Amino acid sequence: MDFLSIKERAEKNWKALENLKQHLIQIGMGTCGKAAGADAIYAVVKRVLKQLNLLGRVMQVGCIGTCYLEPMMTVRKPGGPFIYYGNLTAERAEEILLATLKEDNPKSEWAICYSGEGPVDGLPRFEDLPMIKPQVRIALRNCGLIDPENIEHYIARGGYSGLMRALQMKPEEVIEEVKTSGLRGRGGAGFPTGMKWEFARKSGGKKRYIICNADEGDPGAFMDRSLLEGDPHSVLEGMLIGAYAIGCDEGYIYIRAEYPLAIQRLAIATRQMKEAGLLGRNILGTQFCFEIHVKEGAGAFVCGEETAMMASIAGGRGMPQPRPPFPAQKGLWGKPTNINNVETFGNVSAILAKGAQWYASFGTEKSKGTKTFALAGKIQRTGLIEVPMGIRLKEIIFDIGGGVAKGKKVKAVQTGGPSGGCIPADLFDLPVDYESLTSAGSIMGSGGMVVMDEDTCMVDIPRYFLSFTAQESCGKCVPCRLGTRQMLDALNRICNGHGTVEDLDLLKDVSETVQKGSLCGLGQTAPNPVQTTLRYFRSEYEAHILRKKCEAGVCKPLFHYEIDPEICNGCGLCLKRCSVGAISGEKKKPHRIDLERCTKCGACYEGCKFEAIRIS
């Protein structure tokens, strides 16, 4: 069957799904959903339908982005709206299904929102949820809406129309389209994608390679994983367009083995593409031929760097190489190579489908389009979002993320993963674009965004990230190998109460040396957490050193817990929570903490309902 026939069938089947005369139940089956219990929800749905002897379609979808609500389920009765439910247990899911399907009671008090025909009394539309309303979903356009293991769902929603258009253009015209869109690489420094493609196409030789960098290793980042799990074809279509543009017939997806679900769905997607004539020889009846290989990485953070990645694909040790020559000149196996990350390719497929001017209408003059971010840390609404470039940090953190929980104050946000910088709350008017983040000492990176509240120690944070980058350093160059360790040792001294003022000068000097002298981006950006916390939170360093005080109550040698006798009413909750018996006192009378026995685990502090326990 040719592709146009497949497309016609896919659109017909999708329309039939939209007008289904049966119950349609969707379950978020990304890694976040599965980790929260989605498999149990799926099993319950199947069992209830069988129990009630009802015809129904159970459909797995990827993560729609509201990870704080997982596991999620949507239920639609024939002709009715989708009703969304979140934070489910198997028991509650069963109760909702029985009430909805048997008694025509949708249990609105447990619902979150609805979509489709409405209104539904007391429920907002999904599009109007605070986390969703400000978003513009381009890379994530299908995530949470289609079955990622069904190529027809992707095709029915316009999938591969970008490839069809590209194959009717000259490769140079495709490159010009991407250049006009203003798309910049979404995995690091933001190099213009079209220009990168142009370099690869103009390089000498007949053999070229294209690589999708899916080696997402940042703590707290899950953008690439969610996109590959929720809509793998958008990325694969972008790779095909890029391969056609630069003139290559072979590509690799380099993905860490810790992403088994994404790998599984990539395998299913590539098999379906071959069956549809979208991979292999003479794609869509043209002279274009292309094959994709999936290469699983062993989890080394440094392999996210281009030259280290190519070394790993070729079977060597993942270690960076000096540049120039750049990959576009001499890359995989010495051949010209183009490398883009997952999100970049996901945007490419949309750009060729809808046009460069459409894409360039979003964002700012120098940072076009949208960017996905993984919201994590001390924030109420964790999840995956996609927003126009130029949006301000405060809009993301407060309007979309809902601020921090428990009435705490936001202290800072770190963008760009372990190599990003910590931006203080008084700079949250900063627009999110490449130049603005760089001016603040941070980076866009792949899109991790970790929010910190007043209980976060801004000396412990760089220590945490330095422990990661020092361990992940490949050791090839001296500045990174020794410099990250020197900075980590100094931070350990400060957090343990043995730091000196000279350590601050040491951190400044060594961070600059590592930044300027390291071979690859891992070392060059590793000092960012140190430099930005010294720049914006120097007073916390000085408190650790001069007053031997960690005001956030994180660095254990530098604080202790006390119970305020004026507030404590002797409820006994702290006594019950203490696992080492360090708290004593009579019922309804103020309690005490034995500082010798206290391990500073924080259980009493977190559990006190009356805020009678303070950090001293």
- CA-to-CA distance for 329 and 311, rounded, in angstroms? 15
Q: Which region, left, alpha or beta, applies to residue 406 given φ > 0 means left and ψ of -120 to 50 means alpha?
A: left
Both structure tokens of 50? 């069988």
pLDDT tens digits for 337-369? 999 999 999 999 999 999 999 999 999 999 999
- Positive or negative torsion for Cα 338, 339, 340, 342: positive
Please give the Cα distance from 156 to 159 (Å, whole number).
7
Cβ–Cβ contacts within 10 Å for residue 557, how many? 13
Sheet with 291-297, edge to edge strand ranges = 291-297, 250-256, 209-214, 337-341
Give the position of tokens 């690589």: 211
Picking from 290, 59, 253, the residue whose alpha carbon sits closest to that of residue 166 is 290
pLDDT at 198: 97
Q: Tokens 């017909």 correspond to what residue?
A: 12
Domains annotated on the chain, with CATH: 3-128 (3.40.30.10), 160-360 (3.40.50.11540), 370-453 (3.10.20.600), 460-546 (1.20.1440.230), 560-615 (3.30.70.20)
**What is the number of alpha carbons within 13 Å of residue 163 lying toward its C-beta?**
31
What are the phi and psi torsion angles at 509 (to 5°)?
-70, -45
C-alpha R_g of the chain: 26
DSSP H helices in 104-231: 151-156, 161-167, 171-181, 193-202, 223-230
Amino acid making up residue 141: R
Name, in order, each residue with C-beta under 8 angstroms of 156's C-beta and a sequence gap of 6 or more: 10, 11, 13, 14, 15
Separation CA 2–CA 546 (nearest Å): 74
- CB-based contact 104:141 (threshold 8 Å): no
Nearest Cα residue to 38 out of 265, 272, 261: 261
3-state helix, strand, coil in the chain (%, to 5): 45, 15, 40
Res 497: pLDDT: 95
- Output the pLDDT for position 446: 79
Is 231:142 a contact under the CB 8 Å cutoff? yes
Q: Which residues of the chain have pLDDT under 70?
A: 1
The span from the CA of 221 to the CA of 447, in Å, is 7
At residue 566, the 3 state secondary structure works out as coil
Residue 36: closest CA among 61, 69, 85: 69
Nearest-CA neighbor of 294 among 227, 215, 348, 223?
215
Position 182, amino acid: G
- Number of neighbours of residue 502 by Cβ within 10 angstroms: 10
The torsion angles phi and psi of 24, rounded to 5 degrees, stand at: -115, 125
How many beta carbons lie within 10 A of that of residue 157, not counting itself? 18
SS3 state of residue 68: helix
The strand pair at 448-453 and 370-377 is best described as: parallel
Angle, CA of 117, 121 and 125, to the nearest 5°: 50
Contact between 435 and 362 under an 8 Å Cβ cutoff? The reply is: no
SS3 255: strand
Angle between helices 501-517 and 538-546 (to 10 degrees): 140
**591-599: which pairs have CB atoms within 8 A and are 24 or more residues apart?**
591/563, 592/563, 593/560, 593/561, 593/562, 593/563, 595/560, 598/560, 598/561
Closest CA to 442 of 406, 424, 416: 416
Identify whether 119 is preceded by a cis peptide bond (ω within 30 of 0).
yes
What's the pLDDT at 217? 82
Interatomic CA distance for residues 456 and 413, integer angstroms: 11
CB 72 within 8 A of CB 62: no
Q: Is 198 exposed, middle or buried (0-12, 13-18, 19+ CB in 10 A)?
A: buried
For residues 247 and 145, give the distance between their C-alpha atoms in angstroms, rounded to a whole number: 33
Residue type, 152: E
